[in-house]
Structure 1
Amino acid sequence: MLPTELFREFIAKNSLFGHNDKILAAVSGGKDSVLMTHLLKTAGYNFGIAHCNFQLRGDEALADKAFVNNLASELNVPVHNIDFDTKKHAADEKVSIQMAARELRYQWFQQISRQHGYDVIALAHHQNDSIETILLNLTRGTGIAGLHGILPKNENQVRPLLFLSREEIDEIVQNNQLAYREDSSNSSTKYARNKIRLEVIPKLKELNPALEETFERNIEHFRGLEILLDQKLAELRKELITGDGDSIRIPVGKVKKLVPQRLLLYGLLDEFGFNESTVADIISCLDKHSGRTFESAGFILLLDRDDLVVSKKQIEPPAITINLGDHEAHYGNYRLSILHDDSPLIIKDNPMAVSIDTDLLIYPLTIRSWQQSDYFYPLGMKTRKKLSDFFIGLKIPLHQKKQVPLLVNGNGDIVWIGGFRPDNRYKVSTKTKKVTIFELYKL
């Protein structure tokens, strides 16, 4: 007899789906997915079957496909099939065969769901799969999130067999004489997960025959700890983080008081792509190395004197040329208007515009970003100043420095730091006959 009531109870307890939902069941033909299919049928749910042929096992895979299609026909449910060129995808994307198969099937499941109006995708993972996942994560290194095992629900993916162990599934399939297909690759220990399943877990069960029940309790504890940590991090984000999604600040003084420091700072920076190793490096530099930067895939963290400043990486705009007679130019997120005037007009109280003595300009001019060796003579000063020091004085973060447009004369002199300060050598004076007015507009 099938455990249909337990199946329904687990689905209801974890809010996996309702009787009005349409379910796409991922079915390989193995014991687990076959049992899930029969349970969905006996419980009266509205579902269809999705089967993938990864074209890795020749005739065996074709026999799996035929079996699944026959099963769908017997149960009178729709079936969706696809054949993948898994080896080509792995080579093109430079990933392992296992990773390629995973990417292909999950992308296709989502595509089929959208096309045919399925509400959830049912996957036949069970308790032992969750144990294997935890052990794999521990072997490779993990945080608390890696200890909660496989979740019953993750967005539109549900796992309604997580209330059963592998041994229980074997017994139910045998007692109900359910036909299934055996995947020969499951017996190979060349895959890390198989090695854990076939060699590690049997040894652990010698120490604890009730391993599944113990892990089930542990997983509950880990999930509870994860919830507590998430709540604490939510409080810290409100308390410590200022700014928006493009640039945020976290006070260094408060970071130093975090306990446990590494765990909590990693939690705060994880969404920006910083790994635990980088977080450890950041902590080691908190009392020194102000101005040091750390990078993730999409963000830069600047260790300022008072704050950790996290900003989105910006693409440095390419330099552009301005020729004599040009009236407009575009640079990055700016539009530059160029006006030639016969009167020696001086622009005041508008940092986005500047008047320059026309006779001092050497064309073509250039607009480019800051370079490490840049210097200029700030308006009102007779001595030169490095732009890096000028930016530090204005507390301009590193990620913004590269976005500041610099107007450069044909002789290499910086004429104007757009939006901030002109060069004293090019100011309008009593000797000026004509001016050129440059005005920036943020797009």
Structure 2
Amino acid sequence: MLPLKQFQDFIEQEDLFKKGNRILLAVSGGKDSVLMLHLFKAIGIDVGVAHCNFNLRADEAQRDENFVKMLAHSLSLPFYVTHFDTKKYAAEHKISTQMAARDLRYNWFETISIKEGYDFIALAQHRNDAVETVLINLVRGTGISGLHGILPKRNKLIRPLLFLNRDEINQIIDDNHINFVEDSSNASTNYLRNKLRLDVIPHLKQMNPNLEQTFAQNIARFADIEAFLSLHIEELKANLIVEKPDGAYIAIDDIKCLKPQKLLLYELLKPFGFIEQVVEEIIAGLDKQSGVKFLSQNCQAIIDRNNLIVSKIKPNDNRHILIHSNENSFEFNGNLFEFSFSDNLRFDNNKHKIFTDANLLLFPLIVRNWQNGDKFIPFGMRGFKKISDFFIDEKVPLHLKSSIPILVNGNGDIIWIAGMRQDNRYKLSKSTKKVAIFELKIK
């Protein structure tokens, strides 16, 4: 007899899917996935069968494909199959064959489920798989999420066999005379999972014959701990992170009060891509001078006075551009400017717009980023001031300094720190005949 009641109870207990949902079954042809297929068919769920041929085991892979195809047809179920050049994909992406196969199949399952209208994708992983996953994560190093291993449900992926262990599956297959195909690679110790399965776990089971049940209980506890931590992190994000247009601000004093500091800061910064090692460096640098920068793949974190400021790294293709006298608009680093001439000698008090003496301009003008050593005469003053000092006086965050456009005359004079201050040498005067107007448009 098939364990239909246990199967249905587990589906209901874990809320894997609702009545009327369509389920795409990932079926390799092995015992686990074939049993899953028969269980779904027996309880009358609308399912389809998806099979991946990774072209890694020559004739055996083709045998598996043929078996699953015939099984699906014998049960009058939709059948979907695809072929992958797994080794080529692994080489191109510089990953292991196992990781390549994982990426390929999950991406294809998602594509098929969307195209064919399936609500969930069912994978035939069981309790032993969960044990092996936790051990692999521990061997490689993991956080709390790695301790719960594989979950019964995550987004569209469901694992309805996690109530069974491998021995139970073998017994059900034998008792019900269910046909399957055996993957010869399961007996190889070339893969870490197989080494654990064949060499390590048998010794652990000598110490604890109920190893799978114990791990299932531990996994449930770890999942609860992760859920609790996630709630706490969301509260910390709401209280500590201040979102501004230029980035996320976290007060350094608040970071110093975190306990446990490393764990909580890592969780706060994880969405920005910062790894544990960089978080350690950030903690060590909290008392260093402003300007210390830490990088993830797409973001930067800068210690700036009393805050840690996290912002996205923007491609800075426009190191400089030339502006000719016949242009009426231009863009620089995502900023839009309008440029015009006027005979009307007027002046608006607007830091996003400047009115300059057109006769003093030497075209082409240059718009570029700030450079060390830049100086100008701020409007209303007589002496030169370094722009770096001006930024400090204006409390410009360090991570924004290099993105503020600088308008430069053809003779090298700085005309305008866009959106902030005009140079006094280029203001309108009694001798001005024609006005050049530059405006930074605020989006």
Q: What range is the shorter-chain TM-score in?
A: over 0.9
Residue in 2 that maps onto 1:409:
409
Residue in 1 that maps onto 2:331:
330
Shift in Å, 1:65: 0.5
Residue in 1 that maps onto 2:189:
189
Residue in 2 that maps onto 1:352:
352
Hey, what's the Cα distance between the residues in 2 that align with 1:375 and 1:143?
49
Shift in Å, 1:384: 2.6
Is 1:231 aligned to 2:231, yes or no?
Answer: yes
The number of residues matched between the two structures is: 442
Residue in 1 that maps onto 2:176:
176
TM-score of the aligned structures, taking structure 1 as reference length: 0.95
Shift in Å, 1:245: 7.9
CA RMSD in angstroms comes to: 1.7
Residue in 1 that maps onto 2:304:
304
Give secondary structure in 2 for the equivalent of 1:49.
strand
* Cα separation, partners in 2 of 1:86 and 1:411, compared to 1, 3 Å: same
Residue in 2 that maps onto 1:95:
95
**1:231-280 Cα shifts (integer Å, max 9, x gaps):** 11111112111115862111111111111111111111111111111111
**1:56-110 Cα shifts (integer Å, max 9, x gaps):** 1110000001110111122221111111122222233332221221111111111
Contact 2:144 / 2:226 at 8 angstroms: preserved in 1? Answer: yes
Residue in 1 that maps onto 2:108:
108
Residue in 2 that maps onto 1:50:
50
Residue in 2 that maps onto 1:139:
139
**1:26-47 Cα shifts (integer Å, max 9, x gaps):** 0000111011111111122111
Give secondary structure in 2 for the equivalent of 1:225.
helix
Residue in 1 that maps onto 2:314:
314
Contact 2:353 / 2:437 at 8 angstroms: preserved in 1? Answer: yes
Shift in Å, 1:383: 3.1
Shift in Å, 1:375: 2.4
Hey, what's the Cα distance between the residues in 2 that align with 1:97 and 1:195?
16
Contact 1:352 / 1:419 at 8 angstroms: preserved in 2? Answer: yes
5+ residue gaps in structure 2?
A: none
Residue in 2 that maps onto 1:441:
441
Hey, what's the Cα distance between the residues in 1 that align with 2:389 and 2:99?
48
Residue in 1 that maps onto 2:265:
265
Give secondary structure in 2 for the equivalent of 1:351.
coil
Shift in Å, 1:208: 1.8
Contact 2:246 / 2:400 at 8 angstroms: preserved in 1? Answer: no
Residue in 1 that maps onto 2:160:
160
Moved more, 45-54 or 322-331: 322-331
Contact 2:304 / 2:398 at 8 angstroms: preserved in 1? Answer: no
Residue in 2 that maps onto 1:340:
341
Residue in 1 that maps onto 2:64:
64
5+ residue gaps in structure 1?
A: none
Moved more, 423-432 or 118-127: 423-432
TM-score of the aligned structures, taking structure 2 as reference length: 0.95
Hey, what's the Cα distance between the residues in 1 that align with 2:343 and 2:153?
71
Hey, what's the Cα distance between the residues in 2 that align with 1:309 and 1:356?
35
Moved more, 399-408 or 230-239: 399-408
Hey, what's the Cα distance between the residues in 1 that align with 2:76 and 2:430?
93
Moved more, 152-161 or 90-99: 90-99
Shift in Å, 1:412: 2.0
**1:110-131 Cα shifts (integer Å, max 9, x gaps):** 1111111111100001111111
